[in-house]
Amino acid sequence: MSFTLESVTAEALKLTPDERAELIETLLASVEPTMPLHPEWEAEIERRVADMDAGRTTPIPGEEVFAKVRALIAAHDQKA
């Protein structure tokens, strides 16, 4: 069986969003290995993930965060 980019893509799109995210991470690591993080950053990431999993924090959609940042920048620019 031969695979083409189109056939692999079509099959990948049948995966769940979580499975696709895991596939993306695997593929990225195969072409661009990640540099190890400082142990303190690793611990912080683990703490934040645990907080999310336990429901102690609420995620904010990226679009909302970027909209707020753009508004802050625009307000700052108007003052200048």
| pLDDT tens track for 5-47 | 999 999 999 999 999 999 999 998 899 877 889 999 999 999 9
Provide the pLDDT confidence category of residue 2 given band limits of 50, 70 and 90: confident
pTM of the model: 0.46
Residue 1 has pLDDT above 70, yes or no: no
Q: Which residues of 46-76 are buried (b: 16+ CB within 10 A; e: fewer)?
A: eeeeeeeeeeeeeeeeeeeeeeeeeeeeeee
Look at residue 33 in the predicted model and tell me its pLDDT. Answer: 74
Q: How far apart are CA 76 and CA 80, in angstroms?
A: 7
Backbone angles phi, psi at 28, to 5 degrees: -60, -40
Q: What is the model's pLDDT at position 4?
A: 95
Q: What pLDDT is recorded for position 43?
A: 97
